[in-house]
Each structure stands twice: as structure tokens, then as C-alpha cells.
Structure 1
């Protein structure tokens, strides 16, 4: 396990409460000194506070960076991205949100003929010179953790355009509540994206289903599509289907 992924999983473990260094070392199959170095790194970013023999989260659940998110559950995210490709036809206009799974999806669009509207700056090097891609970039304030723009400028630009589909993700997807994120700026933009599209496609691995750890929410439309992986429980799938989701299983 690479250091970036290990530190992201350390944060997930710490969300459940204080854990000591030896427990973390056993869990991740590394030495205690490696865990101490990881915790020291996270302490330097103000994500955790060191305690005697361990660590606790410094505040509320911290946001991981885009690089950290890309390192977690990579095969599942790639499978979800590939499954979502079948939902898109050439000639369509897509709105692509920021986020690691949407970034994985966007990188698979090379060779397609599409108009793409996006706030996802991580996709620009890939799509900017792609033949067949007509690219529109939303301005606004930069959220460095996700490499996406947000704010009034992005929303105002979106309100002047419409799209066939919005492709988005979230920190959590909860039946009856919608998409969970860390900031109101994020959910305001997601809501605008969904309002300007005929269809909403949510890309979320099984670990995000039912998660409600952040403070901001974007309600979903009455009918929407969820692309997830086979680890999603039958109970979660049933709840989301009852909340209006058409569920597509990656690899099915």
C-alpha cells in the first residue's frame, strides 16, 4: 500500500475514534515507525492531533485531497467509470463535476464526440486537445482539495447552458437526503448542475452509500441514475431505488 493511500485510510480509521500506533501498524501490515511518520505528516497538515501513543482527528471529518482519493479503491472507481461510459452517446452535452471517480470517467472520454462543460481542472490536460471534444470550463473560486471551481461565477455561467447529462459524485449518497459534501459551495454548484441537465448520473462506490459525515447536502431529482460496484449491499440498493435511483452495477 502506497503512503498516500495508507494515510487516507488512516484518516478513515481515526474517524471512528482514537486508535494507537500499534493497532494501526497491525491493521495496515507496516511497522510502528511507519505509522508514526504517517501521523507526523498528517499532524503537519492539521488533519490529526497526536496523543500519547496514537492520534485523534483534529476536528470534524477532514477532506482528503484529489490525489489521496484517486489512490483509494482505484479498481472499483475505474470499473464504475467504464460502466458509466455505456450511458453516454456521441453528440451529447455533458456536465462533469470535480471528484476522483468523475476524473477517472472523464479520462475515458478520449475518442468520443462530446461537448463537455466542467469545473474539473484536473481533466483539462487530458481533454483540452482531444479531437472531438468541445470543452467549456467553468470559472470561480478554486477548491484545491478537489481541483474544482465553485462559487457564484461558476453557477452564473451554468445557468446560461443546458446539458443532456450531469455526471457527479459525492462524499456520501443517502436515500431521501441526496449528496453529502463538506461545503455549501459544493452542493450549491451540484444542485445547479443537476437543474441544467435532463439526467443526473451519480458515480459512487459502495463505501459512499449511506455515508452522512459531512455537513452540506444537495437533494437529488425524482429520477436519477446511480453507478456503483457489486459490494453495495442489497439493503442500500433497495433504499436508493425507492428514492428514485436507476441502479447500474459496474461489471454486471
Structure 2
């Protein structure tokens, strides 16, 4: 079976080429059906960089902005029997395909993370995210969620929402199968935590999840996130 990799982008000129390169490593290229960059209207050179790669496995599509919308549009355009959703500032391990293959094609899951910062607090974040994924089958988008196409379609795919599309998809998928967490490591840019600070960003994430559990809409959650 082949994997379609979907990368949502908005002004990711600095990240998109190394992201795609990580997908198409020598160890994994044979397992890739395509890499679809679902761009939400970048004003930098993101799309031009993708087009300049001149790789028949790589293509860019245009989508209305919003990660849930872009992921859904990318999945709609994909042809592979398995889908993998990758953030532009993430890097897959060179043997990511082999890890999936040796896992006997699990229904869905993600990867252990390695946040690219040496501080000990980031190791705690990695541990907590792995526990959430393994223990609760609740994966976030920066864990490179992969899922069989048939199961993705069965649950209705990504909601076309402003925020929490990854949590909503996980909630639908775990009703059918528990998540599989592969060893990775998936390298994750620390920019999100560096911008707000580890504690502040983590507390914000918890606040958003609590508000979501209490019935807040994705648009209300976006207002909390952008505040």
C-alpha cells in the first residue's frame, strides 16, 4: 500500500523543502503515493519552492485558509490507501515508512516527538504528549497523524474548522480503534513554545481543550488562541 502525505501550509517558505525532503528519504520514497502541499494562500515563496522541486511525487493545491479546511482538501485530492498529515515545521525520521510497515499497517496513529530544543522541559512535553497519545488515543497534528483511507472516510475525515480539527478527528477515530504510537522520532520545531514560553503555551493548550470539552465552538477557541 502507498501513503499520501498531506502538508497544510501558510507562509512556510523556510520549512517546506526540508519537510518534503524528510518524507522522500531513500528509505521511504518507495512507499509514497504523493506529497500534497495544501496551501491556504501563502504570500511568500512557499508554492514556488514546491513547484521548483520538479518531483513527480510532489504537487501543490490551493485551498481556502484554515488548517482543518486545508487538511480536508488535501485528503480529498489524495490517492493513497493510507493518509499521513504532516505539519510543515515537522521532519519525519528517515525510516518512517519502515516503522509503519513493521507495525502491520495499524488503523491509525502517530509518532513520538523530539522537540528541537535541548532544555529539559521539552523532554517533559514529549513524555506528556506520548502518554496522551498512547494512553488516551488523543493525538495532535504535530504528531504526524496517519490513518487508513477507509477509516478516515468512515468517520467523515477532518472537520472544516478553525481549530481543534486534530482533536476532533482523534475523538472519531478512537471510537473504532486505539491509536498506535510509533517510535519516530518526529522532529518538531520549538518555535511555538519559544514564542509564548513553555508554561504559557502548555497552559493555553489546556485551557483550549477544557473550553472545547465544555462545548466552545472552534471559532471561540480560535479567539482564545489568538488572544
User: Is the TM-score greater than 0.5?
Assistant: no
Structure with higher strand content: 1
Structure with higher helix content: 2
Higher relative contact order (CA 8 A, sep 6+): 2
Find the structure with the greater CA-based Rg: 1
Question: TM-score if structure 2 supplies the norm length?
Answer: 0.29
